[in-house]
Amino acid sequence: MFSRRDFLQLAAAAAAVMPAGGTRALAQQGLSEAELLRFAPLGNITLLHVADIHGQLVPVHFREPSLNIGVGEARGLPPHITGKDFLQRYGIPEKSAAAYALTFEDFEALAKSYGRIGGLDRAATVIKLVRAERGEGNVLFLDGGDTWQGSLGANRSKGQDMVDCMRLLKPDAMTGHWEFTYGEARVKELIKGLGFPFLALNVRDTEWNEPVFEPYKMFDKGGVKIAVLGQAFPYQPVANPRWLIPNWSFGIREDDVRATVEKARKAGAQLVVMLSHNGFDVDRKLASRVSGIDVILTSHTHDALPEAVRVGKTLLIASGSHGKFVSRLDLDARDGEVKDFRYKLIPLFADAIRPDAEMAAAIAKARAPYAGELRREVGRTESLLYRRGSFNGTFDDLICAALIKERDAEIALSPGFRWGASVLPGAAITIEDIHNATAITYPNAYRLTMSGERLKEVLEDVADNLFNPDPYYQQGGDMVRCGGLGYSVDVRKPAGQRISGMTHLKTGKPIEPKKDYAVAGWASVNEGTQGPPIWDVVERYIAGEKVVRIAPNTSVKIAGV
């Protein structure tokens, strides 16, 4: 497959790079912009896709997961392979640039060699070059959503900074998830100023059951009529606060997807593309049940796959997160079907790809109001701080420690969000770093008492949202992170029976069902939650600690993987 060969060349070019070589090693080893973008064009249409940028305007370090559990039919299939298994599956050499971009292996050392990845200015360079090469009339650029949230600037400007910068890239359409956490009025206001459609076929009003957004849009590209269907995150009012969007109802709505595909085909669509925020496993199941979709541009679960996944006649693309990648999919679409395709997941190595001047200026302008605050050092870390992974992340361990200390709790709960950039060992922890892991519109750090029984219910409930063998019953986050609480989990067990051996870590005693425990947490979906914003809690804690060290987390015992 072209994409694999391509990645191999990328890897070979960088194979000689040794850690501690400095990020300039990239250029010295031939990892140039031209090499990263090298692509033998194919067919008549190019799709460009970004997703899950999570408010990241500038390049980041982002460690991919070491554990990404798949259950049921998805067990052991991409994207549920990590580390060396991932490298082997895709033929990527260890310690290569591709290995660094796509896996957690040797992350700390390789981060020093290969540097940061992403930045909307680098994405702009790539998008402009591809448009110039292929011709505007043959390129569709689509944003899968989770674009407007995830950083201090995005949160303070209620998504405005991201909208202003993304607008320069002239996307053809977008859909959303965290976008909705700015509330109905703000979402409508931002959409009005987009200049391109916000598509979501699976959102209806709770009163009259009527569509809220445009379900799809038809484009003429490469001499072909292309229908782009939008599918917003199906579990918005469950996974995030319903009170922020009380008049809207979501859901997978498979029948509506099917009906929209049929309608688009009837209206003359020769190529059907679904811009989806379902999450990869949901899309894989959907592709096996709904015919007539040529391409699903997946998102939500933050998977970065260097090859397209085929389900029947449908191609699934997974473009990663945090602005690390731009996906390029060339299609030979004729006679109402895809005859051939070529795919490349382009990693945006910040030291290899030139920043686009226009976008760089827009980013600087967007960040200017908070520039001093963003770089203010709160403390330092001796450990790598990261979040992604099915059960633990060191950044969450840090947040849980902060909750326990600053809110005087025995047990801390931190949501299993998949977004949040990494901080390298030895680096300063800045205000920007803290907000990159906490910037939400419902940040209050609550403190309350919960019985042991209730704690188990919470863990079981979240576990079923991850490990229900039917992807349609999953929500796509990771497991809730616990501080001060250990437990065992068997992912194969049915709902309500996965969690056992819950232990109060401070005393080493079992959690008692009828006993009350002081619990602190954040990101409650309930309206009116009381408590200081989580970023203040974390800042106070880090400032007090001065240097952060995170011990390996051994408090969750996992079975059935």
Partner 1 sequence: MAVPRIKLDKKEAKKGDLVEVKALVAHIMESGQRKDASGAVIPRKILNKFTCTVNGKEVFSADFEPAVAANPYIQFKFRAQESGAVVLTWTDDDGSKIVGEEKITVS
Partner 2 sequence: MTLILNRRQALAVGAGAIVVLGGTAGPAFAKNDSDDIIKKFTGNATPQQGRVKLDLPEIAENGNTVPMTISVESPMTAQSHVTDVLVVADGNPRAGVATFHFSPASGAAEANTRIRLATSQNIIAVAKMNDGSFFTASKAVKVTIGGCGG
Which residues sit at the interface with partner 2, rule CB under 8 A? 177-178, 206, 209, 235, 237-240, 242, 249-252, 255, 415-419, 444, 446, 448, 450, 453-454, 456-458, 460-462, 464-465, 468, 470, 472-473, 475-477, 479-480, 494-496, 523-531
Q: Beta-carbon neighbour count of residue 331 at 10 Å?
A: 29
Q: How far is the CB of 321 from partner 2 (least distance, A)?
A: 12
255: contact with partner 1 by CB under 8 A: no
CA distances from 53 to 38, 139, 161, 315 (A): 23, 21, 13, 22
CB under 8 Å to 46, separation ≥6 — which residues?
Answer: 130, 134, 138, 139, 140, 328, 329, 330, 331
Edge-to-edge strand order for the sheet containing 547-548? 428-430, 377-381, 547-548
Q: How far is the CB of 472 from partner 1 (least distance, A)?
A: 23
Of 135, 143, 144, 138, the closest CA to residue 271 belongs to 138
* Contacted by 488, from partner 1, partner 2, none: CB < 5 to 8 Å by type: none
- Cis peptide bond N-terminal to 79, omega within 30: yes
Nearer to partner 1 by Cβ, of 208 and 554: the residue is: 208
Chain centroid to CA 552? 24
Of 246, 342, 260, the closest CA to residue 293 belongs to 260
Q: How far is the CB of 122 from partner 2 (least distance, A)?
A: 25
* Contacted by 43, from partner 1, partner 2, none: CB < 5 to 8 Å by type: none
Nearer to partner 1 by Cβ, of 262 and 351: the residue is: 262
Q: How far is the CB of 233 from partner 1 (least distance, A)?
A: 24
Q: How far is the CB of 204 from partner 1 (least distance, A)?
A: 12
Contact assessment for residue 364 and residue 61, using Cβ atoms and an 8 Å cutoff: no
Chain centroid to CA 326? 13
DSSP string, 265-329: HHTT-SEEEEEE-S-HHHHHHHHHHS-S--EEEE-SS--B-SS-EEETTEEEEEB-STT-EEEEE
Using the rule CB under 8 A, give the single segment among 179-187, 207-215, 270-278, 373-381 that binds partner 1: 207-215
Of 264, 278, 239, 253, the closest CA to residue 51 belongs to 278
Nearer to partner 1 by Cβ, of 209 and 554: the residue is: 209
Residue 180 burial (C-beta neighbours within 10 Å; 0-12, 13-18, 19+): buried
Q: How far is the CB of 418 from partner 2 (least distance, A)?
A: 7
**In this structure, what is the dihedral angle of CA atoms 251, 243, 474, 399, given to the nearest 10 degrees?**
150
Q: How far apart are CA 462 and CA 521, in angstroms?
A: 15
Give the interface size with partner 1 as a residue count (CB under 8 A). Answer: 3
Nearer to partner 1 by Cβ, of 192 and 208: the residue is: 208
* Contacted by 208, from partner 1, partner 2, none: CB < 5 to 8 Å by type: partner 1
18: contact with partner 1 by CB under 8 A: no
209: contact with partner 1 by CB under 8 A: yes
Nearer to partner 1 by Cβ, of 220 and 255: the residue is: 255
* Contacted by 495, from partner 1, partner 2, none: CB < 5 to 8 Å by type: partner 2
Number of H helices, E strands in the chain: 19, 24
Nearer to partner 2 by Cβ, of 366 and 480: the residue is: 480
Nearer to partner 1 by Cβ, of 207 and 255: the residue is: 207
* Contacted by 207, from partner 1, partner 2, none: CB < 5 to 8 Å by type: partner 1
Considering Cα of 414, then 415, then 416, then 421, what sign does the dihedral take?
negative
Contact assessment for residue 119 and residue 198, using Cβ atoms and an 8 Å cutoff: no
Nearer to partner 1 by Cβ, of 208 and 220: the residue is: 208
Q: How far is the CB of 209 from partner 1 (least distance, A)?
A: 7
- Phi, psi of 228, deg, nearest 5: -105, 115
Chain centroid to CA 455? 27
Question: Of residues 18, 20, 208, 255, which one binds partner 1 by CB under 8 A?
Answer: 208
Nearer to partner 1 by Cβ, of 18 and 208: the residue is: 208
Nearer to partner 2 by Cβ, of 46 and 151: the residue is: 151
* Contacted by 191, from partner 2, partner 1, none: CB < 5 to 8 Å by type: none
* Contacted by 66, from partner 2, partner 1, none: CB < 5 to 8 Å by type: none
207: contact with partner 1 by CB under 8 A: yes
**By the criterion CB under 8 A, which residues form the site for partner 1?**
207-209
